Amino acid sequence: MKWSGASGPIPFFMPSETFLQLLGRAAAVCGIEPEFWDIWGRHHVTTPEAQQVILRAKGLDADNAESLDRSLSALVRREWERLLPPVLVTGASAHLELPLSVPADSLGEMARFSVRREDGAESWYELSLASLPETEPIDLDGHRWVRKQVRIPLELPLGYHDVSLSLGAFRANTRYIVTPERAYMDSQAAGRAAGIAVSLYGVRSGRNWGCGDFTDLRAIIDWVADEMNAGFVALNPLHAIHNRRPFNTSPYLPNCIFYQNFLYLDVEHMDDFSRSPRALKLRQSPDVINEIEELRRSPSVEYERVAALKLRFLKRLYLQFLREWNDDSPRAAEFEAFRKREGDLLERFATYCALDEHLHQCDPNLWHWKQWPAAYQDPNSPETAAFRQKHWRRVMFYQYLQWQIDIQLSDAQRWARERRLPIGLYHDLALATDSFGSDLWAHRPFFIAGSRVGSPPDDFAPKGQDWGFPPPNAERHREDGYRLFAESIRKNCRHGGALRIDHVMRLFRLYWIPEGSDATQGAYVRERSSELVRILALESVRNRVIVVGEDLGTVEPEIRETLARFGILSYRLFYFEKNPNGEFRKDNEYPQQAVVSSTTHDLPTLAGFWTAADIETRRSVGMLDDQGFRAQSSVREQEKQKMLDLLFQLGLMPAHLPRFAAAYPELTGELHNAIIGFLARTPSQLLAINQEDLTKERFQQNLPGTTWQYPNWGRKMRFTVEQLRSAPEARGYTAMLRNWIVNSGRGNHTGHASGADSQRLQ
């Protein structure tokens, strides 16, 4: 038997073939790469044991040659007997083209096609298959099947369409997705723009409740518009999380990637707050006033306390909304329209939240869904349906929260556009999802059990990284017509002008760590990248959102070539951009189609890098021994000297200053100004400066490999939003960045540019 794969016909098990040979070819069929090279150029070969574990995780019986051959044969049979693939993703064309699998004895029958466009319009066609070119014959149980290439003279618009086939007694359907050749690029932002990157949870103000919220975001937008002449505000992922320290506060390991964290709601800005006498009275109580003051003073975000406080109010506001419920009221109609638009996706998320709350109240030892009673672990069980019906008010409460989030986030983006920020909000879509969260509970078939996602060894993680969450089930997404994947992009495009895709290599391949192995024994598994990238481009164009692909780490050249071809911006960091000689690249050597930045949440800040605060922190929490500390400190001194040499070479450092890194124990004003200036001068389309780097803060938001040892995802801004406009030091930093933005041509041209020289702060 033969099956045509990516590299041509693949013969499976033959008597002369060894099990290892069959295993290797089965791995190739399932996208498991036989080898890879790490960032040091070292060659790694995927072991047969790793191949077996990953094949089992994908649903194949890989115990021996016979069982593996049966599994592969079943795959072949399923692909042929379905007649049409479950989904086809293509570019725009004057013809609709379909690969059709047909039993040879049915070639004399007429094939009837129904094409239903996304807008509901429908067309019908009849074709005789006998005269069409025939390829790839195959015999299944003595019956001959052939593949025909059908061309229907129909030009479909961009979007999601459905094709149905009737051939005698056979029926088949496919989702036909027509995509653009490039992602969206706003003409205003297609030149060179700049913005500030902010961790919203850490924003401090004189009015929030201990955690940054959407009203604080509007204040940040005003600051950026008035004081920076910039074009966007980049945010951490706003995804819903469990808000429990120390394990459930990472925005990059969310409870749900489709919906947002209610902690970002400004409770006092909600319509129902002023209508609720109970909420107004509670807000004036001494214990609430004291709690809010304590939460504001806390040096880091107290997730559990903020969540508990806000839920006390949000439930009162929801009850007020229910009391005023009237089927004829505009607000009721708006809420119902929101629920209808979100459909099953929101209902499942809200059901999970209601179950999580209810079961934990009944038994405080139940912390996640894998500990729930078995019936409730299944989102489709009769018991879960009965709970949803009985506790409909509690379920609807969590739908109400997402409606309110949608209103406030929409207002923030609208405000950014009114303030003439050409991009406005720049959102971030996480790669991961919490294994104990809503997405795994609600959409379990879309994830693989038996393996975890991570990364191979590199400079920052010599033993590799195990991120602890399951890889996506690519075949299940394909069977679903990529509906869930498209929703993940669409939901996070909403209310923004740019979207960063965390670890964009996920669209091409992911590093799988087999169950029972560590991160040094993983293997890369390929995805159907052409289909995923095309759908990303489609959602980008439809939502008018620029796409940024975070392509740090082990990246194959062809990945960046594909991203560039589709107009997806690369992501370039000052620390990592080096030439083959290990020297830092000059500013004019950066790519144009990219976002340039100083650092990320997982890497040291500029001030932390220069003082080696990150290395000292890793030693203090036990991640480095004395030998490792000395080795990394030595490398850091060399890196600093290379940076300094480049900055002097480019004339960004005053010529009279010392040229030895040891002469700068701290990130001085001159160094700070030079590095920001270097980044601003690059030809890259977007410049994103982290708030921590603007204000010279030493400690990064996240220290990978730690949980309780480090206050991950909780550090607050050094200045409040009010102090950003009033404190002389903060105003100096802002003026320095503004001048570089304007003088480098990145300004949004809506304010009055200052002609002053860039400030150098001591």
User: pLDDT by residue (tens digit) across 479-496?
Assistant: 999 999 999 999 999 999
pLDDT score at 190? 53
Dump pLDDT digits (tens) for 53-100: 999 999 999 999 999 999 998 998 899 999 999 999 999 998 999 999
Question: 204-218, 453-467, 486-500: which has the minimum mean pLDDT?
Answer: 453-467
Q: CB neighbours (10 Å) of residue 668? A: 18
pLDDT score at 16? 54
Question: 171-175, 554-558, 629-633: which has the minimum mean pLDDT?
Answer: 554-558
The first and second tokens of residue 226, run together, are 């008035």
Averaged pLDDT, 593-608: 95
Q: How far is CA 706 from the centre of its chain?
A: 21
pLDDT score at 752? 37
pLDDT score at 14? 52
Q: What is the CATH number that goes with domain 93-179?
A: 2.60.40
Q: Give me the DSSP letters along 121-182.
A: -EEEEEEESTTS-EEEEEEETTEEEEEEEEEE--PPPSEEEEEEEEETTEEEEEEEEEE-SS
Q: Given pLDDT bands bounded at 50, 70 and 90, which one contains residue 13?
A: very low
Averaged pLDDT, 307-329: 94
Dump pLDDT digits (tens) for 650-695: 999 999 999 999 999 999 999 999 999 999 999 999 999 999 999 9
Dump pLDDT digits (tens) for 333-344: 999 999 999 999
Distance CA 366, CA 626 (A): 41
Question: Edge-to-edge, what's the strand order for the sheet holding 134-140?
Answer: 96-103, 143-152, 134-140
Q: Given pLDDT bands bounded at 50, 70 and 90, which one contains residue 456?
A: confident
Q: Is the pLDDT at 19 greater than 60, yes or no?
A: yes
Q: Is the pLDDT at 10 greater than 80, yes or no?
A: no
pLDDT score at 189? 55
For 466, list phi and psi in degrees, rounded to 5.
-110, 110
Q: Given pLDDT bands bounded at 50, 70 and 90, which one contains residue 326?
A: confident
The first and second tokens of residue 103, run together, are 């039993």
Q: Which residues contact 577 (CB under 8 A, 6 or more apart)?
A: 584, 585, 589, 590
pLDDT score at 12? 46
Q: Is the pLDDT at 748 greater than 90, yes or no?
A: no
Distances in whole angstroms, Cα of residue 360 to Cα of each of 147, 250, 381: 55, 21, 19
Distance CA 476, CA 38 (A): 30
Averaged pLDDT, 102-120: 93
- Please choose, from the candidates 509, 556, 458, the residue with its C-alpha nearest in 3D space to the C-alpha of residue 39: 458
Question: 130-144, 194-208, 352-366, 373-387: which has the minimum mean pLDDT?
Answer: 130-144
Averaged pLDDT, 28-35: 94
**Cα dihedral sign, 649-655-658-664:** negative
Q: Given pLDDT bands bounded at 50, 70 and 90, which one contains residue 138?
A: confident
On the CB side of 3, CA atoms within 13 Å amount to 21
Q: Given pLDDT bands bounded at 50, 70 and 90, which one contains residue 1?
A: very low
728 in Cβ contact with 707 (< 8 Å): no
Q: Identify the burial level of 722 via C-beta atoms within 10 angstroms of its C-beta, where 0-12 means exposed, 13-18 middle and 19 or more buried.
A: middle
Distance CA 154, CA 176 (A): 12
pLDDT score at 194? 97
Q: Given pLDDT bands bounded at 50, 70 and 90, which one contains residue 460?
A: low
Average pLDDT, the chain: 92
Averaged pLDDT, 386-410: 98
Q: Which residues contact 234 (CB under 8 A, 6 or more apart)?
A: 195, 196, 197, 198, 426, 428, 498, 500, 688
Distance CA 699, CA 706 (A): 14
- Establish whether the linkage from the previous residue to 665 is cis, with ω within 30° of 0: no
- Alpha carbon distance, N-terminus to C-terminus of the chain: 74
Q: Is the pTM of this model over 0.95?
A: no
Distance CA 213, CA 207 (A): 10
Residues of the chain with pLDDT > 90, as a percent, come to 82
Dump pLDDT digits (tens) for 244-284: 988 889 999 999 999 999 999 999 999 999 999 999 999 99
Q: Is the pLDDT at 515 greater than 60, yes or no?
A: yes
Dump pLDDT digits (tens) for 685-722: 999 999 999 999 999 999 988 888 999 999 999 999 99
Strands (E), 76-133: 87-91, 96-103, 110-116, 122-128
Q: Residue ranges of the domains in the chain?
A: 2-79, 93-179, 193-422
